Amino acid sequence: MTDSTKRLVRIHKGRKIAGVCAGIGAYLDLDPTLVRLLWIVLILAGGAGILLYLIAWVVMPLEEGV
């Protein structure tokens, strides 16, 4: 795998719970704090964020080399 290949993985460094938001932030070149705020908005807007987070936790692989 080359350095230019992006993969959606859960990040170990800088994670708060499972590394989902840090991984999505790294993949989309966004600040993980912004991604976390968006998750909170989804949670408060009907609870869909909780289910989506759990699905992402299960589906996204942990980064290699941890």
CB 12 within 8 A of CB 20: no
What local confidence, expressed as pLDDT, does residue 64 receive? 83
Q: Could you read off the pLDDT of 26-64 as tens digits, one per residue?
A: 899 999 999 999 888 988 988 888 888 899 999 998 888
Residue 4 lies in a domain: no
Residue 22 lies in a domain: yes
Q: Give the number of domains in the chain.
A: 1
Q: Could you read off the pLDDT of 4-14 as tens digits, one per residue?
A: 688 888 887 87
What local confidence, expressed as pLDDT, does residue 12 receive? 79
Number of other residues whose CB lies within 10 A of the CB of residue 21 = 27
What range defines the domain where residue 46 resides? Answer: 9-66
What local confidence, expressed as pLDDT, does residue 29 receive? 92
Residue 20 lies in a domain: yes
What local confidence, expressed as pLDDT, does residue 15 receive? 78
